[in-house]
Structure 1
């Protein structure tokens, strides 16, 4: 097989519009309820299949060793699972802040898994890809499924959710909190009453079980959350130090980003119900089927 030219694939960011802990399993994992909101903005990954079977990273996030990079681990997992003899060169254009709870590493892993499944001709179904994805991290399946979703369990039980196309401001104040430490925080609520998908409404947006522990550990985060909530619905996303605000229009989002810029990097993005990755996969398959035989 001759190496193909490189193709570029989106790896969208996500937000946890709310997050609560409803209990704990016997194995120690916490049971969560959350809404994963996919965005129209994120990382971009260039993939160039190679005929010698080697998987290598040509560009990736600083400070992350190649063997720890989720995009590389994802490619190797798919290769092992399918017995595929093709390799790939991976180049990552990292835009999503690392460690902020915006889903960057998980999304990168899912994009490599789904795109290589197509490029390598493995053609695993979505369920099979999602089973592989959970080996890479609890948030990876939501990106493989490619839908904004209501999530339960440890994040693996997903139900698609159609939400209005709201605009968001993502704020990265450079605060990095230890997830393990937050889970052990005495002020963490671990037994919230379970909600149903029908209970989700805009007044839940920004509620996050990790809010109090995060504020207690970072005065900057406490100040940011106060300023943010005085202007819009929003709060923490995930267990990271990243925050978000939700508004109705792009103009409102841009004005709010200007207001909050003193706290750190602000990004304006639109919420989408279907992942840009799945739009790209659909377009790629349509191009391939329309191409003349032998092209």
Structure 2
């Protein structure tokens, strides 16, 4: 039995550069990973299968549509005689939540199959399959902080300090396609000026403090936050709960929502804030931990 974790992906920033003529949106996003994760195991065998377990297994939808199987099938089509097997997904991360749960699971599947078949994570075929599976899968494949650009293919590694955080999801699903539709960009339309497209964002270098990162992150928000709140106004309530929490340094929505996060100066403040939010909103999913 081989085991991998699918860590939650958090978009610390998300800038929509524009909509390409092929309908896809070009993005620029600082991505970090949380210490909460789904767990995916693989039992090598002749038949490709997937079973689900865990507290949120019922939210996974149709097994046949799961990104774990999509990634495995695409890799099998790319690499002849690929060894496969039976996957078991222990699901603890909310789905359709803006933290890349499905993408992280697909990336974990690719890492498991790479290990089983003696493939390097730098194998171009693996990277191509990751991108074909979904825009967030390439960054989840490496599961390390990066500045992600384009439609997910551009990855510049970043050195983040450990960031104490609280993640909150109000247990409502938000479809990514609906949020981008609400953004309302026409084919070929740019959302930022051409100067902004040309100039690279200068993120803090290795060894920079949490305070340095917060100061830089405050300069760029999440362009999908406003359209997502129009679709699910409860996101505004989540952000309010996080922004008013004692010790919160920065709070915003991740991805296309509805999960939001806050970064704190220390783990104690994060834990206290999480407990307060749990008590006031017992129906919400709340995690206190760290980003890196």
TM-score by length of 2: 0.83
Equivalent positions of 1:11-160 (< 5 A) are 11-50=6-45, 53-59=46-52, 61-62=57-58, 63-84=60-81, 86-123=83-120, 125-160=122-157
> What is the DSSP-based 3-state SS (H/G/I as helix, E as strand, rest coil) of the residue aligned with 2:15?
strand
Q: Can you list the C-alpha shifts for 1:130-168, whole angstroms capped at 9, x where unaligned? A: 111001000000022332100111222110000111111
List, as ranges, runs of 4+ consecutive aligned residues in structure 1 with deviation greater than 4 Å: 186-190
Contact 2:32 2:145 in 1 (8 A): yes
Q: Can you list the C-alpha shifts for 1:178-215, whole angstroms capped at 9, x where unaligned? A: 32232232688961353633157424358211222222
Deviation, 1:69, is 0.9
Distance 1:242 1:90 in 2: 27
> What is the DSSP-based 3-state SS (H/G/I as helix, E as strand, rest coil) of the residue aligned with 2:155?
strand
Distance 1:209 1:246 in 2: 19
What's the Cα RMSD here?
2.3
Unaligned runs of 5+ in 2: 205-212
Equivalent positions of 1:188-199 (< 5 A) are 191-193=191-193, 194=196, 196-199=200-203
Which residue of 1 is the match for residue 226 of structure 2? 212
Unaligned runs of 5+ in 1: 1-5, 273-295
Contact 1:138 1:156 in 2 (8 A): yes
Deviation, 1:124, is 6.4
User: In the alignment, is residue 250 of structure 1 matched against residue 264 of structure 2?
Assistant: no
Return 60-69 or 74-83, whichever deviates more.
60-69
Which residue of 2 is the match for residue 202 of structure 1? 214
Distance 2:105 2:160 in 1: 24
Which residue of 1 is the match for residue 208 of structure 2? none
